[in-house]
Amino acid sequence: MGSRRYFATTSKGLEDVLAGEIRALGANVVATPTGGVSFSGDAALGCRANLWLRTANRVLLHLSDFPAPTPVALYEGVKAIPWPDFFPVRKTIAVDATVRDSGITHSHFAAQKVKDAVVDRFREKSGSRPNVDPLSPEIRINVRIAGDACTVSLDLSGESLNRRGYRGDPGEASLRETVAAGMVLLTGWDGRTPLVDPTCGAGTIPIEAALFATHTAPGLRRRSFALQHLSGYDRTLWDSLVAEAKETALPSAPARIEGSDLSSGAIRNARRNAGRAGVSGVVAFADRDIRELSLSGPPGVILCNPPYGVRIRSGPEAESFYRAMGEAFKKRCAGWTAYVLSGNPDASRHIGLKASRKIPLMNGPIDCRLLRYELY
């Protein structure tokens, strides 16, 4: 098959970073709207994108665009797609729909109409229909309606790509793996200088830095992808891409990568996560209060997501923590460059340093800024 159209979703603020990753895979980047990147390439590109993209949440395969000003038009447009060509009837399905500025006002209603159209297309061809599994479907159908325009895609990822497979408890840290990887890439860090996270929590930032520095594909530890359930799935191609990725991975990083945290429990979790990610020999973790942070040797990058909001109370507690962090930066980290993800401007001003850059970045629902500090 020739060129295909894809769309990769990401966190707001990481669109340009994701576009750079996609270009590095040899794809043609078409557009970078808010929250994602549109690109094109061959069938193998969809596999590579799921295996290698660090900042993408999902990779979608474009199927059709058509006007859908009414529910009838939506149904007919979806039914016109040759669904039995894309996956077997025995596969379970679910429909994810988003609706904006449309005469079709409810996303749940839109998803229901799409499901009906898909099921009816299968019934007309084979007399049977796929079952719906809203929790863990094998096939995810993505529908976006904006105004009268409808776009229908197949989700090639399945479970969100931030689920790398190394976090024992996905709820143990508020920072998504994809956002942590995006933070690493936003700093411009190339893996050849030290990187330290003094508030590492579950270790997500150091682990993502280690995966990047060792050229390890972030999807290698995943158990499955939705693309493996499609009729056109090429097992030989996938196995060769996985084997290639394993050969590319380095056993060690060129420079030291460290994480520390006041909580000994968090450090134990971080070490377990690093072991599951295959980078326990690359990242060093230690119990350490931010007040004890003192960095020497060749200067590098400090990158952290310090506690704010739910993770630390505002007021004196937050003021004391951020003030101590600022003191450590100023007095014991000369020559380094610090990047701090802040979702609380009132707390971060107590760092007592002027940010040379403020990069907008969404961390889930929280509107954050990645603050850069030059530590002269």
Residue 88's pLDDT band (boundaries 50, 70, 90)? very high
Residue 232, domain member (yes or no):
no
Q: What is the CATH number of the domain that holds 79?
A: 3.30.2130.30
What's the whole-number mean pLDDT along residues 295-310? 86
Asked if residue 254 has pLDDT above 60, the reply is: yes
The per-residue pLDDT for 316 is 79
Judge whether 236 lies within some domain: no
- The Cα–Cα gap between 273 and 279 comes to 9
Same domain? 90 vs 139: yes
Structural domain range at position 358: 177-215+252-374
Do 65 and 151 share a structural domain?
A: yes
Residue 10 domain-assigned (yes or no) = yes
**Band of pLDDT at residue 39, cut at 50, 70 and 90:** very high
Measured distance CA(354)–CA(190) in Å, rounded: 25
343 vs 183: which has the higher pLDDT: 183
- 39 and 128 in a single domain? The answer is yes
17 and 145 within one domain: yes
In the predicted model, what is the mean pLDDT of residues 12-37? Answer: 96
Q: How many whole angstroms separate alpha carbon 226 and alpha carbon 355?
A: 42
User: Considering the chain, what percentage of its residues have pLDDT values greater than 90?
Assistant: 90
Q: Are residues 37 and 75 in the same domain?
A: yes
Structure tokens at 112: 């229901």
**Is 137 in the same domain as 184?**
no
Whether residues 141 and 188 share a domain: the answer is: no
Q: Is residue 243 part of a domain?
A: no
> Does 326 map to a domain?
yes
Q: Are residues 46 and 101 in the same domain?
A: yes
In a domain, 78, yes or no: yes
Q: Are residues 59 and 115 in the same domain?
A: yes
pLDDT band at 205 (very low <50, low <70, confident <90, very high): very high
pTM: 0.94
Tell me what pLDDT residue 105 has. Answer: 86
Alpha-carbon separation of residue 187 from 78, 134, 191, 252, 298 (angstroms):
43, 38, 11, 21, 17
When divided into structural domains, the chain yields a total of: 2
- The answer to whether residue 17 is domain-embedded is yes
The answer to whether residue 221 sits within a structural domain is no
The larger pLDDT score, comparing residue 2 to residue 343, is at 343
For strand 366-374 and strand 58-67, is the pairing parallel, antiparallel, or unpaired? unpaired
